[in-house]
Amino acid sequence: MGSDVSVQARQRAEKWLSEDFDETTRARVKEMLAQADDKELTESFYRDLEFGTGGLRGIMGVGTNRMNIYTVGMATQGLADYLSKTFPGQQIKVAVSHDSRNNSRKFAEHVADIFASNGFKVWLFDALRPTPELSFAIRELGCHSGVMVTASHNPKEYNGYKAYWNDGSQVTEPHDRNIIAEVARITDISQIKSGNAGDRIEILDKNFDELYLDKVHSLSVAPEAVRQFADMKIVYTPLHGAGVRLVPESLKKFGFTNVTVVPEQSILDGDFPTVASPNPEERTAMKMAIDLATEIGAELVLATDPDADRLAIAVRDGDEFVLLNGNQTCALLTSYLLTGWAESGKISGKEFVVKTIVTSEMIPAVAAKFGVKCYDCLTGFKYIAKLVRDKEGTEQYIGGGEESFGFMAGDFVRDKDGVSACSLAAEAAAWAKSKGMTLYGWLKQMYVEYGFYKEGLVSITRPGLDGVAQIERMMREFRSNPPREILGSPVVKVRDILKEPVDGERSNVLQFFTADGTKVSVRPSGTEPKIKFYFGVCAPLASVDDFDRTETLLDTKIEEIKRELNL
């Protein structure tokens, strides 16, 4: 980093030596100022931790660019000020929850105190809860906003918080940028109102859980299949997170009686000691659950991330377990729900499903079979929630998902929901079994019917200030010099979502479509220092017997695309 940035960071750090900051914080700042290498000091203080369109997320520690009670407090005061201006004269109500991460409870209590000290009515959960229950609580309790303290599936060093609006979804335009502007006005911790909560904080306990679980259970479409195979062996891992509170309870409510929770990973621990990263998208995070499932002869493995909004599924294929990717999970759950709705005679032509622009093109193919609309939206469940909100009263939402292991069924939650998705996945497995199939066998049959859609992802991490600049350069290069062909197939369309809005929304995403049906998408992550490349290819599948050969061909094609793009 340049010397000017380092000097500015040092000046900012010195302000944290005042008596306004606690003794432990001041001591740590003194240590950093005394270090010969100023890299840590600069990274911690070179900027304010950005309150983005989804809220806060960052490494925990001392500094203006770190997650701590001071940066959390300033962001919360900014959000409180915006709520006060947006709903003048109203008794503003908010809900607050948190996951299992280190400091999450402390941050959540601080957030609740600040809201209450601003005169708001606050509901705070008595302990950690999944993100989808927080979304549900906002709607159920008639709140104007809510905060979930979580860094989702990020490594243990991170924490963050997601800001929600009154429909239970994460904030969208214009509120997101308006909140960002309001947070920017909080430039000193003296502006934070705290310590005057009075009796305005009410605790939510397990009784509220039952309201949410009843709604989840209402999604069931094949209860008779569960009754038939209630003792189907299922292994579940919460990866040390909030899912342990409700996923087993939800599976029990659906009727499953033989669920084994991975004991080592049911322990709530923000250090996530049994995994390198608590991300169920990675097979290494699933290893302990898959090993246990192999040992006890289970048919299905389910996992959720620390705040239980994402799910992962591993399905048995003979003696092995196959870890489904997010596209496959979304296709299976969409097809399962539509099948159930169709068999119940509930499809009238006014129903719809949703996928994001980087999610598998198999979803619209499935929807078309059932005469159900499929809408595209930008990446992020707040855009799925926006579509649900915009179409309320005219069209019926059934379900929607994205490639990053998220699915949302029903409209009582307005964010991805690992609790309901786990329950539906288990019910789908029981339904498939009642038809003489495994879930994986059913997926193969779907490929024969709709085409074999195969997706890939490359995620490149570039942390720190230099990383931000590198990612920006990569996007500029792709914009100014887009590929003219991919593996010899001409690029017939370049889609720049900054110039071509999706459902009225712009985003820093580029997509390249070729004549042979290949799709490549490029987007920087909105919450992590990453740039992501998504690949989608497709081929016909004549029969299940051709599955392995066709999968190899498609996998090879994706790898060749990566090499051609120097990834």
Q: Would you name the residues annotated as active-site residues?
A: 152
Which residues partner with 125 through β-bridges?
Answer: 204
Q: How would you classify the pairing of strands 510-514 and 489-496?
A: antiparallel
CB 96 within 8 A of CB 146: yes
Distance, C-alpha 558 to centroid of its chain:
25
CB 462 within 8 A of CB 471: yes
Distance CA 108, CA 220 (A): 33
CB 304 within 8 A of CB 420: no
| DSSP single-letter state for residue 437 | -
Nearest to 170 by CA among 380, 323, 317, 315: 380
Beta strands in 431-529 (DSSP E): 452-461, 485-486, 489-496, 510-514, 519-524
Q: How would you classify the pairing of strands 158-165 and 201-204?
A: unpaired
CA distances from 190 to 21, 51, 73, 415 (A): 10, 19, 10, 34
113: Cβ–Cβ under 8 A, 6 or more apart, which residues? 194, 195, 197, 201
Q: Which residue has the tokens 């409870």?
A: 105
- SS3 at position 518: coil
Distance CA 133, CA 148 (A): 10
Which residues partner with 457 through β-bridges?
Answer: 534
Distance CA 415, CA 382 (A): 7
Q: How would you classify the pairing of strands 300-304 and 234-237?
A: parallel
- SS3 at position 19: coil
Nearest to 61 by CA among 77, 45, 75, 79: 45
Its sign, for the CA torsion 406, 410, 415, 417, is: negative
Distance CA 224, CA 388 (A): 29
| DSSP single-letter state for residue 451 | -
Identity of the residue numbered 460: I
